[in-house]
Structure 1
Amino acid sequence: MPTTVRDVRAKAGEEPITMLTAYDAPAATMVDEAGIDVILVGDSVGNAALGHDSTLPVTVDEMASHTAAVARGTEDALVVADMPFLSIGTSREASVENAGRMLKEADADAVKIESGPHTVELTDQLVDLGIPVMAHLGLTPQRVKELGGYTRQGTDEESAREILDLAHAHEDAGAFSLVLEHVPANLAARVTEELSIPTIGIGAGPEVDGQVLVYNDVVGLSERPPPFAEQFGDARSEIERAVEGYKDAVESGEYPAEEHSHYAEDLEELY
């Protein structure tokens, strides 16, 4: 049976939640068949697949396209669409319309919002309209220009308290889960202890309800993964070996071989 937001919420404190990004149908199918609970169509597609050096250039249309591709490749996992920079917050009407597109047009099951004081009321309204919301606190990459880099957040008492208060506010607003990114492990543990909805960490230590990483980092496609990521495969080396093998075979004449070719007898009279 396909995973629902209720299934994910019910796992809080019960069993670990696994979440991984994917940006296209082939990757989504492999992630789904591995039994991952949640597939996040992250705006990290900007860095991971579109050649940008940040997530900021990613558009709503691009997110809708990639989300639809992932949804077509997924049968069981919950598909969550990331809301890209300036797709929410500019006006309530535009925010609702953009988030709604991910469910109406791209077949997402929920949306993720990089959260702050400005997204509490929006989360409440989206949930009221039937759009499940995954909140996201800590390091929010869409604020990279403001932060001056991808630095750890919540490292002093004031900022940690703000994250904790916002976590409660978004839970009260109806978010079904919360991503905590690049925060101290003891802060993530405190947030997890105080919330009833599941927390999903990325660079937030082990005392959360689940973990999320970027697909490229996990399979070994990233050249410079973040310090909190773990590489579980070496896809880059395998792809390089395959491409070099293809090039060598074409240049040497080994490919295509006889078994790769078809000759039509009816065309013999042309020669």
Structure 2
Amino acid sequence: MAGYLTTDKKKITSTQFIAMKRAGEKISMLTAYDYTTAGIIDRAGIDGILVGDSASNVMAGHADTLPITLDEMIYHARSVAKAVKHALVVCDMPFGSYQISREEGIRNAVRVMKETGVDALKIEGGAEMADTIKGIVDAGIPVMGHLGLTPQSINKLGGYGLRAKDEAEAERLLADARKLEAAGCFGITLEKVPAALAAKVTKTVGCATIGIGAGNETDGQILVYADMLGMTQAFRPKFLRVYADLSAVMTDAVGHYINDVKTKDFPSATESY
């Protein structure tokens, strides 16, 4: 299966996520919402980039993902897709764009694909969304599902706590995963669920599982880039590993720039025309 490994710099497709699962290679994913950041992440060799509706928080400053619109997601997704040469680009379908009806969900999914150039879409929900997902897949669009903590349903769930802790909810999640696979999903994001349950889902379904706060036995992992690079300071959940402190680096650089401007050190003679 060497042709599907991350040493192969050809464009990754949704079918290759499944092939990577079968080959036992872990799948790496991060979010991105703009051209410049997406290009950096892609050149680093990431397998997949999610244009997440978390742009609502990271880019727009909203408290949750609900306010972001379809037009705004299309803008972010188009910007990311232009930058990416290697990774699979997945775009979140935002709240309200697919829940009203199967037909509207398919129509909006087609619009996103036509107007952005992304490779696949992600949709939250289990059995209740399976028919809509099947319609979108039947239209020729790869779909990644999303189970566990589903942020678009945060008001219904009552908070951002761990999901599927009890046996009944765990069994429902496992059944939902099977239904998403049957509907044609190539992957399923598992967010904030017990590691043992995520491992069971991963062994049960043939599609790739991508974890966030779901332990180490999923087929891959995803984090929000601004969180793992230390750009956000207040958000420090248990599942987050911070790989850099860009907030400090950027603050320091801006401080030096301010000082250089105030003291007339910048621009110098060599930096002037």
**C-alpha contact (below 8 Å) 2:102/2:131 kept by paired residues:** no
Unaligned runs of 5+ in 2: 1-9
Q: Give the whole-Å Cα distance in 2 for the aligned partners of 1:225 and 1:70.
A: 26
What secondary structure sits across from 1:131 in the alignment?
coil
Q: Which moved more, 1:5-14 or 1:124-133?
A: 5-14
- Please give the residue correspondences for 1:20-99 in structure 2 after superposition, counting only pairs within 5 Å: 20-99=30-109
- Is 2:132 the partner of 1:122? yes
* Residue 17 of structure 2 is aligned to residue 11 of structure 1: no
Partner of 1:232: 243
One-letter amino acid of the structure 2 residue matched with residue 63 of structure 1: M
- CA–CA distance in 2 between the matches of 1:10 and 1:115? 24
Query: What are the within-5 Å matches in structure 2 for residues 152-231 of structure 1?
Result: 152-223=162-233, 224-231=235-242
SS of 1:136's equivalent in the other structure is strand
Q: Check whether the contact 1:41–1:67 (CA below 8 A) recurs between aligned residues.
A: yes
Deviates most, 171-180 or 88-97: 88-97
Aligned to 2:3: none
1:7 alignment partner AA: Q
Task: Provide Cα deviations, 1:174-193, integer angstroms capped at 9, x if missing partner.
Answer: 00001000000000011011
In structure 1, distance between residues paired with 2:121 and 2:148: 18
Say which SS state the counterpart of residue 146 (structure 2) adopts. strand
Letter in 2 for 1:59: T
1:252 and 2:263 matched: yes
* 5+ long unaligned stretches in structure 1: 263-271
Q: CA deviation at 1:138?
A: 0.3
Alpha-carbon displacement from aligned partner over 1:108-127 (angstroms, at most 9, x marks no partner)? 10000011222100111111
Partner of 1:208, secondary structure, is: coil
Deviation at 1:198, TM superposition (A): 1.0
2: CA distance between counterparts of 1:186 and 1:168?
Answer: 17
Between the aligned partners of 2:171 and 2:119, the Cα distance in structure 1 is: 31
**CA RMSD, 1 decimal:** 0.9
Question: TM-score, normalised to structure 2's length?
Answer: 0.94
Max radius of gyration: which structure?
1
Q: Which residue in the other structure is 1:266 paired with?
A: none
* Partners of 1:89 and 1:118 within 8 A in 2: no
SS of 1:11 mapped into structure 2? helix
Q: Which amino acid aligns with 2:150?
A: T
2: CA distance, partners of 1:220 / 1:144: 25
How far off is 1:144 after superposition? 1.1
In the superposition, the TM-score normalised over structure 1's length comes to 0.95
CA distance in 1, matches of 2:104, 2:60: 25
The 5-angstrom pairing of residues 93-112 of structure 1 reads: 93-112=103-122
Task: For 2:204 and 2:41, locate their aligned partners in 1 and report how far apart those are by CA, in whole Å.
Answer: 31
The percent of aligned pairs where both chains have the same amino acid is 46
